[in-house]
Structures are given as structure tokens and as C-alpha cells.
Amino acid sequence: MQTIDNFNFENKKALIRVDFNVPLDADLNVTDTTRIEAAKPSIIKVLEDGGSCVLMSHMGRPKGQRVDSMSLKHIVSTVSDIVGVQVKFVEDCIGQTAEEAVGQLQPGEVLLLENLRFYAEEEKGEEGFAEQLSKLGDIYVNDAFGTAHRAHASTTIVARYFTGSKCFGYLLAKEIESINKVMQSGEQPVTAILGGAKVSSKITIIENILDKVNHLIIGGGMTYTFIKARGGQIGSSICEDDKQELALSILKKAEEKGVQIHLPVDVLAADNFSNDANTQLTAVDEIPDGWQGLDVGPQTMERFRQLILLSKTILWNGPVGVFEMENFAKGTIAVGNAIDEATQQSAFSLVGGGDSVAAVKQFGFDDKVSYVSTGGGAMLESLEGKVLPGIAAILN
């Protein structure tokens, strides 16, 4: 795998695809700098070699229009603060203006291009647009895992113009390595914890990882589709009635492959989807009518904890309860604590995919697990066994 460490950037211009699609507040200030900080090591490596960086990114969904609130000019000062270099900005990402700005770039300098998605050609993966981007650097570095699952001009097509001079940045290399650790080379026992509301959104992941894991913990809303399929009473809990056959076939497949599936045994049920609802502890398959399971109960927390502590490789994708409400966050926090404990005992733990990343950040687990993935959709597609176009473009 060609990484940024395979190159010396002295007097070279690195064209780096970063993911600076960061949230801004009403005053257009950056409210979460995680993605910018994640790109810093690759940028610093180029600068320390004596090269310069041309950074390209998208922000939001401007749909090929110039939208001032989505201009990357608003993040220049934040990027400068984080990288420790006064970042220059150019109000275009292709054409004469951009090429002139790149031409004036000196070693040790960083230039940020305007939002790629101000051009519809970016998302269409248009060849001509990619070719124009390719003129802006000597070596192409893809460090944007969050967009690696999209065959866009800047993530995939542009790499064709850099035969022999393209590589992964540190962030993207670490993402690939972490996913491979879980999916291919993980020390056993391997445990996957899948949460979230719907079986349908996780089905391809479940089918793909049954060959890779020893234990599969299922939590969150999709629990109840499995419990109902097995004849349990789930009250008014969330359930995909049309996916019950699928749930049973997953249980059967797992059994055939020798994978143990672990479902909650008790839940905290509520009479309303609200933090202030009345609650009662009940067996997972004996939830009274009018009540819905919103978190796992203490017996389940302890069972899950014991299982996680026996694991050597752990994948966590999705919360096990409605963690956004304080009264139904205990199960998700308990899972986080157990993963923290297992990680301290030398297990490898990977957290990825939307809500689980939000949960680990909210409860301060982000520095207690081995790796937190930065790419929601890209992470999920990797777990489904898909080859991501942005990664294939560098490997080919």
C-alpha cells in the first residue's frame, strides 16, 4: 500500500484531497474541528519534507452553484490555527486563477482551493474536471476517507493522472488498516456490536461479517424485530414486521457458521418516546402493550460486558439504546465502558458509523478506544465488503 511515507515531497506540490466538510454555526464559525485535525499529520509531513500543499475539499451540498455560506474561505483561519501555518486561499478550484495561485506557492506554504462542489462536474466524476485538478500538483494524496466511497472527480478520477505518484495520506491509511484488522487479521475472539433502529439498514453488514466474527451483539431498535420473529411480546417497540423472516434467516445462518448471536434479555421500557416517560424494567420478550423498549436493562449490560471483556478484536457500530435521552443512555455508556476496559487489556477496538461515533464523543470515549472512524458511509460500505472507489483508485 503506497502511503505518504513512500514519498519525499522536497520541492514538490502535494495535491491533497482532504475532508473539510465541517459544521459551521450561524456566524459561519467552525463548531467541530475533528476532520481538520485529522488531516494535519499528512500536511505537516509534506511541509517538513520541504514541499507545499494544495488542499481540496467539498463542503455541504451546493449542487454546482456558488453558495457563499458554503465557501471554504470561512474555514481558512481555523485551518491556519490548527496547521500552524497561515493558509492561503484561492476563490476557484480549477482554471487560470487556481493555476496561478499554485504557481506562486513556495515550499512550506499551504493553499486551500474553493469548494469543489461549486462545480457539478465534481460529483458527476467528470474526466475533464479531474484533468484540470490534476494540473495543480506533482503528487496526489487522498486523505479523505469520508468521501472514499464516492467516485467523484477529486476522490477517484483525478488519480488516473498520477501514475506512480499517488498515495494514501496518514488518515486514510489508518482507516484501511483499522478496518482490515477487524475484517481480516483480527485476533480472535472477534466481537461485533451492531445497534441502530433497523435491520434493513444493517443487513448487508451482518451478512458480510458473519464470516469474520465469533460473536455478534445486537442492540438498539433492531432488537425487537428479532424478538418478535422469535415469538416474543414487544409491546409498541419499533419493529420492521416485513423483516421478521430475514431476522430468522440471519439467526439460522449464524448458527450454521458457528457465530454466537447475543440479544438483550431485559430492557428498560417506557410508556412514551420521551425522556420524562414512565419506565419499567421488563424481560425483552414480555414488554406490555403500550410500552416500548428504549434501552437495555442491567442483566443485559452485565452479559454484554463479560462478552466484550473476553474479546480481542471489537467492532462497534451503533448504540444499544436511545442515548440522546439521558434516561435511556445507560446501556450505550455501559458498552463504551466495557470496550474501554477491554482496550486497556490490549484488545483492538474500532468504532465507526454515524450514531456510534456521536455516542463515543458525547460520553468521552473517543480517546479510550483504539480507533474512531471518520467516515460514516465509507465505513459502512467497507464493512459490507465493498471496494471503495477512492481506495481502488490509489491501489490500481
Q: Check: CB of residue 348 under 8 Å from CB of residue 372.
A: no
Question: Has 174 been annotated as catalytic?
Answer: no
Binding site annotation covers 60? yes
Q: Specify the range with the lowest mean pLDDT, choosing from 70-79, 174-183, 278-287, 325-334.
A: 174-183
Domain ranges, ordered by start, for the chain: 4-173, 186-380
The pTM assigned to this predicted structure is: 0.86
Binding site annotation covers 35? yes
- Nearest CA among 63, 43, 53 for reference residue 116: 63
Active-site residue identified among 160, 198, 305, 312: 198
Question: Has 258 been annotated as catalytic?
Answer: no
Task: Tell me the average pLDDT of the chain.
Answer: 94
Active-site residue identified among 212, 354, 361, 385: 354
pLDDT band at 115 (very low <50, low <70, confident <90, very high): very high
Binding site annotation covers 61? yes
Instruction: Tell me whether strands 266-270 and 279-283 are parallel, antiparallel or unpaired.
Output: antiparallel
Binding site annotation covers 195? no
Question: Has 35 been annotated as catalytic?
Answer: yes
What is the assigned CATH class of domain 186-380? Answer: alpha beta
Binding site annotation covers 390? no
List Cα–Cα distances, 25 to 19, 28, 71, in angstroms. 18, 5, 14
Output the pLDDT for position 354. Answer: 63
| 347-383 pLDDT per residue, tens | 999 998 767 888 888 899 988 999 998 777 788 888 8
Distance CA 4, CA 170 (A): 7
Output the pLDDT for position 380. Answer: 80
| 193-247 pLDDT per residue, tens | 999 888 888 888 898 899 999 999 999 999 999 999 999 999 999 999 999 999 9
Distance CA 182, CA 294 (A): 29
Average pLDDT over residues 321-337: 96
Output the pLDDT for position 228. Answer: 97
Binding site annotation covers 164? no
Binding site annotation covers 214? no
Binding site annotation covers 353? yes
Distance CA 314, CA 325 (A): 25
Question: Has 297 been annotated as catalytic?
Answer: no
Q: 158: buried, middle or exposed (CB in 10 Å: 19+, 13-18, 0-12)?
A: buried
Average pLDDT over residues 251-258: 96
Q: Check: CB of residue 149 under 8 Å from CB of residue 104.
A: no
Regarding the domain delimited by 4-173, which CATH topology (the fold level of the hierarchy) does it fall under? Rossmann fold (3.40.50)
> SS3 letters for 233-281?
EECCCCCCHHHHHHHHHHHHHHHHHCCEEECCCEEEEECCCCCCCCEEE
Binding site annotation covers 17? no
Active-site residue identified among 64, 108, 232, 377: 377
- Nearest CA among 143, 188, 227, 229 for reference residue 348: 188
Binding site annotation covers 355? yes
> SS3 letters for the chain?
CCEHHHCCCCCCEEEEECCCCCCECCCCCECCCHHHHHHHHHHHHHHHHCCEEEEECCCCCCCCCCCHHHCHHHHHHHHHHHHCCCCEECCCCCHHHHHHHHHCCCCCCEEECCCHHHCHHHHHCCHHHHHHHHCCCCEEEECCHHHCCCCCCCCCHHHHHCCCCEEECHHHHHHHHHHHHHHCCCCCCEEEEECCCCCCCCHHHHHHHCCCCCEEEECHHHHHHHHHHCCCEECCCCCCHHHHHHHHHHHHHHHHHCCEEECCCEEEEECCCCCCCCEEEEECCEECCCCEEEEECHHHHHHHHHHHHCCCEEEEECCCCCCCCHHHCHHHHHHHHHHHHHHHCCCEEEECCHHHHHHHHHCCCCCCCCEECCCHHHHHHHHCCCCCHHHHHHHC
Give the chain's length: 396
Binding site annotation covers 149? no
Binding site annotation covers 356? yes
Distance CA 317, CA 371 (A): 12
Q: b/e map of 30-62 (b: 16 or more CB within 10 Å)?
A: beebebbebbbebbebbbebebbbbbbbbbeeb
Q: For residue 88, is pLDDT > 70?
A: yes
Binding site annotation covers 354? yes
Same CATH topology for 4-173 and 186-380?
Answer: yes
Average pLDDT over residues 82-95: 98
Average pLDDT over residues 122-145: 97
Output the pLDDT for position 184. Answer: 86
List Cα–Cα distances, 253 to 126, 174, 212, 315, 369, in angstroms. 42, 32, 13, 20, 30
Average pLDDT over residues 260-283: 97
Active-site residue identified among 35, 45, 166, 330: 35
Distance CA 132, CA 158 (A): 9
Average pLDDT over residues 138-164: 94
